[in-house]
Each structure stands twice: as structure tokens, then as C-alpha cells.
Amino acid sequence: MKALIVHGGWTGHEPVQVAEIFKKVLIGEGFSVEMSETLDCLADADKLKDMDLIVPQWTMGKISGPQCGSLCKAVGEFGVGLAGVHGGMGDSFRENCDYQFMVGGQFVAHPGGIIDYRVHILDHNDEVTAGLGHFNMKSEQYYMHVDPSNHVLAATTFEHNGCTMPVAWKRRYGKGRIFYSSLGHVAKDFDVPEVLTIIRRGMVWAAKGKSLIT
């Protein structure tokens, strides 16, 4: 299988370091991995449709119309998987609603900054979260706009208002599979075994969708 990791944007989310973690994980799962430090590759429709998985690790920034169009078409029409984490996928391209609609959510805030919080596994039967128990995090707790059609795998509760917020979800966009986890503020967050397991399994699940298209 082929994967494309596109990394850049705001450096506070350590896009290079996190992208290298993803590359190592995907190679371990048998992927051929291409890395890009520019969004220009997203305008190459032929390149994108040849991928099994695209992993954006690009916080904020701007995506052009042709770039977003090619990305959405690769996922929706050709079944290429899309998977990512935190602001690298859930706070990319704040001005582009088409991208946000595909992802199924958009960052709003992280009240309190770096805090201790609990992640609750909601679906213990799904292949992404099977065998995992609830676990603790010390990081940013993402408050997000979310699509109610998402299949939520894990959630967290905010102390300031008692709101339960999705932490990880999967969804479909046309023929493609989408996976997102709000965990992964910086590279050290992936030292938490559950965080790394969730994104590893989520990326693999998203990528497998293309091969199942008949």
C-alpha cells in the first residue's frame, strides 16, 4: 500500500517530528511512504488517486481551490483513505469548509491549555479501539465542532461545562474512509501507548477502504 504524509503549517504541533512517527508506523505496517513538505502535491490529482492513504499533518495555513478539489476527489471518488490527528488534520485550513466537511470536525478551543484529562473508550468492539481501556492524558483537550454522523470511538468530558466531546472517530466520505483523533498535540503524546495504537489502527483502517471498493 502507498501512503502520502503532507507536513507543515504551524510549528508548535511539531509537524516534522510527528510526521516521522507516522512514517515509522506505516512502514512497520508494510506501507511505501512518501513525505511532502509542501501542499503543492495535493493539486496532483493523478498522484493522489494512486495512494491508499493520505495523512495531513498541517495546522492552519491555506489550501487552494485546486488542492482541496483534488484531495476531496481522491477520497470521495477514488476511495483513498484520509487519517490524522489533533490540529494537523482537525485544525487545518480554517477557511475551507469543504475540507472540514470531509474531515467531520473542526477545532474550536482547548480550555485550560495543557491539562490532565480522561479519555473514555466508547466502542470496545471496533478494530481501532478493541482491547483498549480508558486512559489518562496530560495534553490539550480539544473542544470541537463535530459532524453528528461520525462513528465516535472515544470521548472525553470537559470539567468546565460537563460536555462530552468526541476524541476519535471514523466516517465515510463518498467512497473513502476518514479517521481522526484529537490526541497528539506534540510528538511526546505518542509515548502514551493507547494514543499510538489508536492512530496506527486508524490509519490502517482508513487505507484498507480503497482495496475493498468493487
210/203 Cα distance (integer angstroms): 12
Task: State residue 161's pLDDT score.
Answer: 87
pLDDT reading at 100 higher than 90: yes
User: Would you identify the CATH topology of the domain 2-106+169-211?
Assistant: Rossmann fold (3.40.50)
φ, ψ dihedrals at 46, nearest 5°: -65, -40
Q: What percent of the chain has pLDDT over 70?
A: 100
Q: What is the mean pLDDT of residues 62-75?
A: 97
Q: Around Cβ 9, how many Cβ atoms within 10 Å?
A: 21
pLDDT reading at 153 higher than 80: yes
pTM of this prediction exceeds 0.95: yes
pLDDT band at 154, cuts 50/70/90? very high
CA dihedral defined by 197, 198, 201, 204, rounded to 10 degrees?
-120
Task: State residue 170's pLDDT score.
Answer: 98
- Asked whether the beta carbons of 154 and 195 are under 8 A apart, the reply is no
pLDDT reading at 214 higher than 70: no
Domain boundaries, the chain: 2-106+169-211
Q: What is the pLDDT of residues 105-136, one digit of tens each?
A: 999 999 999 999 999 999 999 999 999 999 99
Task: State residue 211's pLDDT score.
Answer: 82
Name the strand (E) or helix (H) holding 100.
Answer: helix 97-103
Nearest to 117 by CA among 164, 70, 73, 79: 164
pLDDT reading at 213 higher than 80: no
Q: What is the mean pLDDT of residues 44-64?
A: 97
